[in-house]
Amino acid sequence: IAQQALVIKPLAEKKVTELPAGPLFWRIENFPTLAQAQAAAGPMGLAAESGGKVWLFTLGPAGESSAGGTKVAEMGPLPKVVARQYLLRINEASGPPGSITSVHTHPGSEAVYVLAGEESFRTPHGVKRIGAGQAEVGHTADTPMQASSSGATDLLALVMFLVDADRPFSSPAEFPSAQR
């Protein structure tokens, strides 16, 4: 039986040429309306709707908050990414248990917040499982990885990326031969 692909849907993205100083964190907040989230976004914020809620994702220092928002999670510090131009992107990952991505890499860091189900990330360093209501920082740039819906119910997760905008967002990869 062929495995079903995990569904990945881009929700929001923007390119920036400079990052805030110091260690970087992704802050996730809920807002009553998309217009309010967009108004609070600022230069490092991305607003989107997913799972029946309005979200604002902001890249910046730890411990901050946006007026009108309710903080849900904060993840970091993120692995450092050095580039001429950066892409901030929010993806939604969804699928039934057993759905999976191909093995791939990203030219930067990612972090995930699971709304429902459980998501697993397989890398050469092992498998990390993230359950509903949990937030995790991912691995460093160019790490081969594979994401899957590993819980007993359908997965719905929000994935935040900070990547080199001048490189392909995702590239096919393979695990080292001992990992296959």
Residue 179 has pLDDT above 80, yes or no: no
Q: What's the chain's average pLDDT?
A: 95
Quick count: other Cβ atoms within 10 Å of Cβ 25?
21
Quick count: other Cβ atoms within 10 Å of Cβ 169?
17
Residue 83: predicted pLDDT: 97
Question: At 160, is the secondary structure helix, strand, or coil?
Answer: strand
Enter the pTM of the model.
Answer: 0.95
Predicted confidence band at 145 (pLDDT cuts at 50, 70, 90)?
very high
Residue 178: predicted pLDDT: 59
Measure the CA–CA gap between 59 and 38, rounded to whole angstroms: 14
pLDDT digits (tens, 9 = 90+) for 38-54: 999 999 999 999 999 99
User: If you write DSSP's letter for every residue of 5-71 in order, what string do you get?
Assistant: BPEEEEEEEEEES---SSS-EEEEEEESSHHHHHHH--TTEEEEEETTEEEEEEEESTT---TT-EE
Pairing verdict, β 53-60 and 7-16? unpaired
pLDDT digits (tens, 9 = 90+) for 94-136: 999 999 999 999 999 999 999 999 999 999 999 999 999 999 9
Question: At 89, is the secondary structure helix, strand, or coil?
Answer: strand
Measure the CA–CA gap between 60 and 24, rounded to whole angstroms: 5
Report the pLDDT averaged over residues 63-89: 96
